[in-house]
Amino acid sequence: MSVGPPALRSPQGTKLDEHAVEGELTLQQCSVCQTVQYPPRELCRHCLGDELNWSAVSRGGDLLAYSELQHSLEPFFQEQSPWRLASVKLDCGPVVLARLTASCPSGNIRVEVSHTTLAGSCILQASPLNMENKP
């Protein structure tokens, strides 16, 4: 029985864990050009400035695709397979990969992305919002 998800993180990834608040979305934002960054990094992807502040950003986004993963090389995930992984285009800019909380049809689905804790480790999750409006 494995105890938790793999905790392999860079120093920047560890900071994401430190700034994460359950139910919120806290990402790096450039103090010069305001570009929101993800995955975590040390230099702004737009202007290469190095002053990136952890900020609460808007959680809304468009679901791009999701898939049900059947197999993982990691025992922790293998034990809880299958699970749903989604790619989301956030309104604030970046594309994030996140765990999808519920299955939904494809196409034009709005989601809300926030931090959550999975067995003591911080990950992103995406919750479908407007499914009742869709066929």
Among residues 12 and 72, whose Cβ is nearest to Zn ion? 12
Residue among 33, 37, 100, 28 nearest 65 (CA): 100
Spell out a b/e string for 7-22, using b for 16 or more CB atoms within 10 Å of the CB, else e: eeeeeeeeebbebbee
Report the residue from 7, 21, 33, 65 that binds Zn ion according to the rule CB under 5 A. 33
Among residues 35 and 72, whose Cβ is nearest to Zn ion? 35
Which residues sit opposite 128 in a β-bridge? 111
Cα Rg for the chain, rounded, in angstroms? 16
Query: Restricting to residues 61-120, which ones interact with other proteins according to CB under 8 A?
Result: 62, 64-74, 76-77, 83, 85-87, 89, 95-99, 106-107
User: By CB under 8 A, which span of 10-18, 28-36, 47-55, 109-117 interacts with other proteins?
Assistant: 10-18
In degrees and rounded to multiples of 5, residue 78 shows phi and psi of -60, -40
User: By CB under 5 A, which span of 2-10, 35-43, 83-91, 111-119 interacts with Zn ion?
Assistant: 35-43
- Is 91 strand, coil or helix? coil
Binding site for Zn ion (CB under 5 A): 30, 32-33, 35, 44, 46-47, 49
